[in-house]
Structure 1
Amino acid sequence: MSQHREPFMKEVAGLPVLDTHTHLVGDRLCAKDFWEIAHYFWFFRELQAAGYPADAMDLPEEERIIQFLAAYRATRNTLMNWVVTNLFQTLYDIELSDEAAVRRADAAVRESSQRDGWAQQVADKLQIRGFVVNIPEHAEFQGMNRNALLIPRIDGRLGEWVKSIHQAEDPSAVFEEMCAVISKLLDDYQQLGCTGIMTTLPAYEARANESYPLTRGITKDQIMMRLLHKICEELESKGMFLQLFLGVERSWCGTAVPVNDPARILKLTGLFERYSCKFELVVASEINNLDVVQAAWNFPNVHLGGLWWFNFRASTYRDCMQYRSEALPGIKCSLIASDARCIEWSYGKILLVKRLMGEYLYEQVEAGWLDRDTALQLAEAWLYKSAAQRYAFTT
Structure 2
Amino acid sequence: MTHAATPNTTIADRQAFLDEIMQLPVLDTHTHLVGDRLAARDFWEIAHYFWLNREMQTGGYPANAADLPEDERIRAFLDAYRATRNTNMNWVLTRIFQDLYGIQLIDEASVREADAAIQRSHAAPGWAQSVADRLQIRRFVVNIPEHAEFQGTRDRAILIPRIDGRLGGWASEMASAGDPMAAYEQHKRTIDELLAGFAAQGCPGIMTTLPAYASRADRRAAIAPGIAKDEAMMELLHAICAAAERHGLLVQLFLGVERSWCGTAVPANDPARILKLTALFEQYRCRFELVVASELNNLDVVQAAWNFPNVHVGGMWWFNFRASTYRDVMQYRLEALAATASSLVVSDARCIEWSYGKIALIKKLICEFLWQQLESGWIERETAHRVAEEWLYGSAARRYGLL
* Pair in the same fold by TM > 0.5: yes
The equivalent residue for 1:285 is 294
2:361 aligned with 1:355? no
Give the counterpart of 1:35 among 44, 56, 72.
44
Give the counterpart of 2:316 among 287, 307, 315.
307
Q: Distance in 1 between matches of 2:294 and 2:125?
A: 39
Q: Give matches, 1:17-36, under 5 Å.
A: 17-36=26-45
The equivalent residue for 1:369 is 378
The equivalent residue for 2:399 is 390
The equivalent residue for 1:261 is 270
Check conservation: 2:59, 2:84, Cα contact below 8 A. Answer: yes
- Superposed CA RMSD: 0.6
The equivalent residue for 1:233 is 242
- After superposition, the C-alpha distances for 1:358-391 in whole angstroms (9 at most, x for unaligned) are 0000010011001001000000000000000000
Question: Partner amino acid for 2:131?
Answer: V
Question: Partner amino acid for 2:319?
Answer: F
Q: Distance in 1 between matches of 2:213 and 2:191?
A: 21
The equivalent residue for 1:202 is 211
Question: Partner amino acid for 1:320?
Answer: V
User: Helix, strand or coil for the counterpart of 2:295?
Assistant: coil
2:375 aligned with 1:342? no
Q: Which runs of 5+ in 1 are unaligned?
A: none
Give the counterpart of 2:10 among 2, 22, 46.
2
Give the counterpart of 2:94 among 79, 85, 88.
85
The equivalent residue for 2:341 is 332
Q: Distance in 2 between matches of 1:48 and 1:110?
A: 25
Displacement of 1:207 in angstroms is: 0.3
User: Helix, strand or coil for the counterpart of 1:178?
Assistant: helix
Give the counterpart of 1:70 among 49, 69, 79.
79
Check conservation: 2:312, 2:342, Cα contact below 8 A. Answer: yes
Question: Which stretches of structure 1, 4 residues or more, deviate above 2 A after TM superposition?
Answer: none
User: Helix, strand or coil for the counterpart of 1:242?
Assistant: strand
Displacement of 1:2 in angstroms is: 2.6
- After superposition, the C-alpha distances for 1:257-286 in whole angstroms (9 at most, x for unaligned) are 000000000000000000111000000000
User: Helix, strand or coil for the counterpart of 1:287?
Assistant: helix
- After superposition, the C-alpha distances for 1:199-250 in whole angstroms (9 at most, x for unaligned) are 0000001000001110111100100000000110111111111000000000
User: Helix, strand or coil for the counterpart of 2:212?
Assistant: coil
2:259 aligned with 1:250? yes
Displacement of 1:60 in angstroms is: 0.9
- 160-169 or 303-312: which moved more? 160-169
User: Helix, strand or coil for the counterpart of 2:388?
Assistant: helix
Q: Distance in 1 between matches of 2:57 and 2:193?
A: 45
Q: Give matches, 1:114-125, under 5 Å.
A: 114-125=123-134
The equivalent residue for 2:166 is 157
Give aligned-pair identity as a percent: 65
Displacement of 1:22 in angstroms is: 0.1
Question: Partner amino acid for 2:358?
Answer: K
2:176 aligned with 1:167? yes
The equivalent residue for 2:3 is none
2:222 aligned with 1:213? yes
Question: Partner amino acid for 1:2?
Answer: T
Q: Distance in 2 between matches of 1:193 and 1:342?
A: 25
Q: Distance in 1 between matches of 2:243 and 2:68?
A: 52
Question: Partner amino acid for 2:392?
Answer: L
Q: Distance in 1 between matches of 2:267 and 2:183?
A: 33
User: Helix, strand or coil for the counterpart of 1:260?
Assistant: coil
Check conservation: 2:199, 2:248, Cα contact below 8 A. Answer: no
User: Helix, strand or coil for the counterpart of 1:378?
Assistant: helix
Question: Partner amino acid for 1:308?
Answer: W
Question: Partner amino acid for 2:70?
Answer: E
- After superposition, the C-alpha distances for 1:134-165 in whole angstroms (9 at most, x for unaligned) are 00000000111010000000000001111111
Check conservation: 2:142, 2:148, Cα contact below 8 A. Answer: yes
Displacement of 1:114 in angstroms is: 0.5
TM-score normalised according to structure 2 size: 0.97
Question: Partner amino acid for 2:169?
Answer: E
**Equivalenced residues, count:** 394
Q: Distance in 1 between matches of 2:204 and 2:158?
A: 9
Question: Partner amino acid for 2:379?
Answer: L
Give the counterpart of 2:281 among 251, 272, 292.
272
User: Helix, strand or coil for the counterpart of 1:213?
Assistant: coil
Question: Partner amino acid for 2:337?
Answer: L
Displacement of 1:188 in angstroms is: 1.0
Q: Distance in 1 between matches of 2:199 and 2:311?
A: 21
User: Helix, strand or coil for the counterpart of 1:131?
Assistant: strand
Q: Which runs of 5+ in 2 are unaligned?
A: 1-8
Q: Distance in 2 between matches of 1:300 and 1:75?
A: 42
Displacement of 1:167 in angstroms is: 1.3
Q: Distance in 2 between matches of 1:99 and 1:307?
A: 34
User: Helix, strand or coil for the counterpart of 1:182?
Assistant: helix
Question: Partner amino acid for 1:201?
Answer: L
Displacement of 1:354 in angstroms is: 0.1
